[in-house]
Structure 1
Amino acid sequence: MKNQYSDRIVRLLQLYLLGNITEKERQELESWCEDAPRNRKLFEQICQEDLFSKEHAVYKEINDIKALHVFEKRVRKVSPKYIGRWWKYAVVLLFPILVVGSWKLMHETVQVPVVVSSVASVQPGCSQAVLVLDDGRKVFLKEEEEGVISEDKEITVTGEKDRLVYTSSEGKNVDGIRFNELEVPRGGEYKVKLADGTLVYLNSATRMKYPVKFDGKERKVYLSGEAYFEVAKDPECPFFVEMEGVEVRVYGTSFNVNTHQKGCIQTVLVKGSIGVKVLASGTESVIKPGQMAEFKQGKTKVDVKEVNVAVYTDWKDGIFRFENQRLEDILTVLSNWYDVDVFYQTPSVKELHFSGYMERYKDVRVILDAITLSTGVTFSIQGKTIIVSK
């Protein structure tokens, strides 16, 4: 077999992605792409603009030589029979290992692939939810749900592919505030456009309670789980998101909130300005774009820090992104999205840290294999359970 997986090709890919490739090197890379359809396909996958453009400014600051040496050392330690597996998910590995060089706790041992007892039992999530109307009736929503779901003199609820849309009539409520609830199960995601025009992306294992029509004084919704908000501007009618112990006050902005970590609520601001109030103490902290306010149960105020916003918001665009995160937290995310349980035969592995990203709609084995190759942790899938061991 021609040496299509050589260190030289890896280096050319790196130079191309960083914009430092010469014309001669570009021709060499192009020749490699022409050698085999799989080479061209991989090159196009790696160069997807929607993935790479978000990180280009960061990659330019990376010590790419050091990162390359880490990758080269790792590849040389892998038995030749596993090279095909490395290349199969290189779109996952090349950016975090080759360019970023941030994969943690590299091990020298060759790992075995994920053992799977039933491939069909673990599937990526899809658009699905349950709408609970104010009279208690439940409507089960699936992808491409279209048509009128509920209609009265004040509000019309319509299904439009992957979202609910509330269309309000003119004037204020005359019968008092009525609430609906949208429940997104594990293995699901859904969107809802509220009566004021606010668009909310609901992640897996999330529930939101909201008025079918706001009263004009304030706009308040109640959330458990994770959601990304694009709030319609209305300076005279503030928007509130209330969670357990915390209230977020908004006037028109984009932000992400997450209550999935036990005893912790994270609010990340993309643009605009919001105030995060601890209800028990009344202490409010105003955060700026690029910051996260983190509240831990029992505290009287939130901790504010600068973060990489993409880590907390790219899920809505179909991407898993992890930045030096604990393996347990990562597997919690995967558990919700793939609707699986996780069992740890070796509890100590929960504290391993991991960085990288991949598309949310890929086979779960792709990311588990990547974690195995970089941390030494092994996985087996039994039905709807992922078993983790060392």
Structure 2
Amino acid sequence: MDYKNEIGHLLQKYFSGTIMPDEQRLLDSWMKEKEEHKQLFDRLRKDTRFAEEYGIFREVDTTRAWETFRVKNGLRRQRRMTTWIKYAAVIALPLLIAGVWLLFPRGGERSIPVAQNTKIVKREESPVLEVVGGGKVILEKEKDKMIEAGRGVDVQQSSGMLVYSDSVVSEYVDTNVLRIPKGGEFKLQLADGTRVYLNSATDLRYPVAFTGPERRVYLKGEAYFEVAKDVEHPFIVVTDDVQVRVYGTSFNVNTLGADGVRTVLVEGKVGIRGQDLDREYVLKPNELAFYDRNSRDMKIETVDPDLYTLWRKGIFVFERETLENIMNTLSLWYDMEVFFQSESAKQLHFSGHMKRYEQIEDILHAITDATGVVFTINDRTVCVSR
């Protein structure tokens, strides 16, 4: 096999989501030939450090590119560099750092048609805490203060996190609602010590203290939970479609997808049940439960949990994801409307790890390079065409 051309072509098709079954078999065969082939592929797919170094290695010579890649990823030095690895280094490295995998040089850069003097910048709106009696408190990230969250209940806001006390003793247990706007994020520590990371466009309703046999919260949006262990008082996350029962674990729940709800278990053990299903499905670490809103079925599969949880560290992760789902994710972060001029454009696929840039144009350029689509921006509206 001509590593320099054939493997680069197969990798480009894999990461852009256009690889065919027979081509996938060839790529699988190549990865089985040597452990180092598989090792390089895995590092290209999973290493999020590239997203933090945008544009550093735009122009590199072959030897320097491979040496930089080898040092960064802990690969041992070889006496003679093989053709495939030399070519992968010089081509994959710059594009990975930019946040997209496209392994062949192009005749020229594609531009994104953008309305003059128009850029979409992430809004800087603050989360809002709704307390008993209908009061609303704007949570400014950098400010530390005490907030009256209920009758006899004060909450500490510090370093972008709300912390509820575990010593609340009250005849009445009030409920709070934390609302995260598009483009926002926030952290929360509940009264039992459970930590919750809330993503953009997310609402969480919860009691200021847990007093009954269960610890129950209500989620609309996406949140990552690190649940304090308490076997006698299960922690339950309720959404419109599913209910997740936990005893002490780390997991992510996302209700924002148009097609259904995704629950990913990082560690521990959870049981998940559709609101209209009798059976409870038990997840093991590195498993995803997908509840389909249309068929009302539950599907379990093994996944890399990083793909679903790195948003907590400011990274967008797309793994052979449809352009429709990608643009839905971006619209929630940048607070924009997206229109597709064709149904076929929605089904194009893209893979990449990218930082949540201040301006969306960097990300759109990467997607254009990989898929060939054209984005036209006007105010806070993006039109996608082929």
Aligned-partner Cα distance in 1 for 2:297–2:344: 31
Q: What corresponds to 1:57 in structure 2? A: none
- Counterpart contact for 1:92–1:356, Cα < 8 Å: no
Distance 1:260 1:152, change over 3 A: closer
Residues 98-141 of structure 1, C-alpha deviation per residue, up to 9 Å, x if partnerless?
Answer: 6xxxxxxx896644233444777522466831111121111122
User: Is 2:66 the counterpart of 1:65?
Assistant: no
User: Is 2:202 the counterpart of 1:206?
Assistant: yes
What is the SS of the residue equivalent to 1:167?
coil
Q: What corresponds to 1:38 in structure 2? A: none
- Counterpart contact for 2:153–2:168, Cα < 8 Å: no
What does residue range 220-231 of structure 1 map to in structure 2 within 5 Å? 220-231=216-227
Q: What corresponds to 1:6 in structure 2? A: 61
User: Deviation of residue 385 (structure 1)?
Assistant: 1.6
Q: What corresponds to 1:238 in structure 2? A: 234
Aligned-partner Cα distance in 1 for 2:220–2:288: 18
User: Deviation of residue 208 (structure 1)?
Assistant: 0.9
Aligned-partner Cα distance in 2 for 1:308–1:134: 40
Aligned-partner Cα distance in 2 for 1:151–1:244: 25
Q: What corresponds to 1:174 in structure 2? A: 171
User: Deviation of residue 156 (structure 1)?
Assistant: 1.5
- Counterpart contact for 1:124–1:362, Cα < 8 Å: yes
- Counterpart contact for 1:124–1:360, Cα < 8 Å: no
User: Deviation of residue 19 (structure 1)?
Assistant: 3.2
Residues 344-363 of structure 1, C-alpha deviation per residue, up to 9 Å, x if partnerless?
Answer: 23332111111110112443
Given the alignment, which residue of 125, 128, 142 partners 2:126? 128
Identity of aligned residues (%): 38
Given the alignment, which residue of 78, 83, 97 partners 1:91? 97
Aligned-partner Cα distance in 2 for 1:380–1:16: 40
| Number of corresponding residues | 329
Q: Unpaired segments of 5 or more residues in structure 1?
A: 27-62, 75-85, 99-105
TM-score, normalised by the number of residues in structure 1: 0.76
Distance 1:193 1:18, change over 3 A: closer
User: Is 2:385 the counterpart of 1:383?
Assistant: no
Q: CA RMSD in A?
A: 3.1
Given the alignment, which residue of 323, 327, 332 partners 2:328? 332
Q: Unpaired segments of 5 or more residues in structure 2?
A: 1-57
What does residue range 202-281 of structure 1 map to in structure 2 within 5 Å? 202-281=198-277
Distance 1:299 1:378, change over 3 A: closer
Given the alignment, which residue of 329, 347, 357 partners 2:353? 357
- Counterpart contact for 1:127–1:190, Cα < 8 Å: no
Residues 343-384 of structure 1, C-alpha deviation per residue, up to 9 Å, x if partnerless?
Answer: 223332111111110112443222111111111112232211
What is the SS of the residue equivalent to 1:145?
coil
User: Deviation of residue 233 (structure 1)?
Assistant: 1.0
